[in-house]
Amino acid sequence: MSSNEAQPPRARQPILYADQLWRQQRFFAGFLVAVGIGMTALLIYKGQLLQTTNLIWVAYIPSGLLLGGAFLVYKWRSYVEPLDDGLKVSALRSSVIIDYGDIRSVKVQPLKIAFQDNRKRMVAPMMRPLLERPALFVRLRNDEAALATIKKTLGARMVWEDTIAMPVKDADAVSWEISSRLPERLGQNQGGGRRRKRRR
């Protein structure tokens, strides 16, 4: 393939909840580090760094680094990826792999559909820019035990009744990739655009 040809989209897609949180909070983490470094330098210059009341400024530096690192790890850990043995959905602490036989359908719809009626209270201010974006809706077969496990792993915000709703960077691409792996090759899902051929 020449470098001028379009590259196929990556099947692994970041879940944008974590990306949005990182974008909003990285400046605060950077601010803590910057203030800590500035004040530490000033106190060293004045010879007052070792005073007990001034040590709090030094603590701003590791606090900002830890906070920024936590948001970055959350971003790296939050993704959806179609694998050969199932659909992997990864969250901060753990992940689940959903067998393709347990998927009833896949759709691309605005995220706001998952937050209607009594679920509106789950919309945090930082999520509002995502509501109009295309999201991946993966509807699962009605296995209460399996759904309970998935909901416990991914959280109530992502699991809506029997559906996992995820804002991702390219919802159409991952939708087609999942659909090409479904046992029954369900075709009712996929949002706009033509269906891509499955890569061999």
Span 153-177, pLDDT tens digits: 888 888 888 999 999 989 999 999 9
Could you tell me the pTM of the whole model? Answer: 0.74
Q: Which of 28, 29, 67, 36 is nearest to 54 (CA)?
A: 36
pLDDT class of 97 with cuts at 50, 70, 90 = very high
Inter-axis angle of helices 55-77 and 16-46, to 10 degrees?
Answer: 160
Q: What angle do CA 123, 22, 136 make, to 5 degrees?
A: 55
Q: What is the mean pLDDT of residues 127-153?
A: 88
Give yes or no for a contact between 192 and 104, defined as CB atoms under 8 angstroms apart: no
| Rounded alpha-carbon distances, angstroms, from residue 14 to 9, 38, 67, 88, 199 | 13, 35, 20, 12, 21
Question: Percent of the chain beyond pLDDT 70?
Answer: 86
The pLDDT value recorded for residue 6 is 41
Q: Which of 197, 194, 67, 94 is nearest to 150 (CA)?
A: 94
In the predicted structure, residue 1 carries a pLDDT above the cut 60? no
